[in-house]
Chains A and B, each alone.
Chain A
């Protein structure tokens, strides 16, 4: 199988604080991971593409200094929301792609619901 986990599943933080979300590929190595944001009743919006050992590539309009992404190993990528504000409240989903020649399928994590108060 290809299982991706996220931790935490839910987090509540106060405005102005930072929060870290982890994305792990449990049974495969993921050279590429993706971070998405999903607002209620809307589609998934790609925020950034994370490659192991290199800087993340951010989509247009996504603040890289606010959404810090670290892909330090082949099984772990982290998204840190810095100085969170209520408008950052959303559902964050990661996905992982197997290896360099791992085909075209992305495996999705279960998501993290962030609430900023």
Chain B
């Protein structure tokens, strides 16, 4: 079974600064998908960014980018120019490519605080 580990329960960043959230995973599969989700106080899960394992290029979405290291099974999220609205719980998630009906396995989450 796949596991996802987020070793940082809480992180803090100053507004306009950059922060990196860590995520590692364990799998024996060669093809899979990785995601970062944001859960603000409203509890609504919001997809931040996704990465296909077969793609070597790191995904980028505006201020959000990932550092995907397949051999190391690492998938960190970098938030640049942090904003107050970025404060939330961030979950890293893994999905197998097939045969599992798109099941997501989530990490335990990192709570991000953004300070002035």
Contact = CB atoms under 8 A, between A and B. Distances in A.
Interface of A: 32, 34, 38, 42-44, 46, 49, 51, 57, 91, 93, 95, 97, 104-106, 108, 110-111
Contact of B33 (A51, A95, A104): A104
Contacts of B101: 32, 49, 51, 57, 97
A93 B45 contact: yes
A42 B89 CA distance: 10
Contacts of A105: 47, 50
21 contacts: A32-B101, A32-B102, A34-B102, A38-B43, A42-B109, A43-B107, A44-B45, A44-B106, A57-B101, A95-B45, A95-B104, A104-B33, A104-B97, A104-B102, A105-B47, A108-B37, A108-B45, A110-B42, A110-B44, A111-B43, A111-B44
Contacts of A49: 101, 103
A43 B45 contact: no
Contact of A106 (B42, B43, B104, B108): B104
Given A93-B45, A106-B102, A106-B104, 11 more contacts: A32-B101, A34-B102, A34-B104, A43-B107, A44-B91, A46-B103, A93-B43, A95-B45, A95-B104, A108-B37, A110-B42
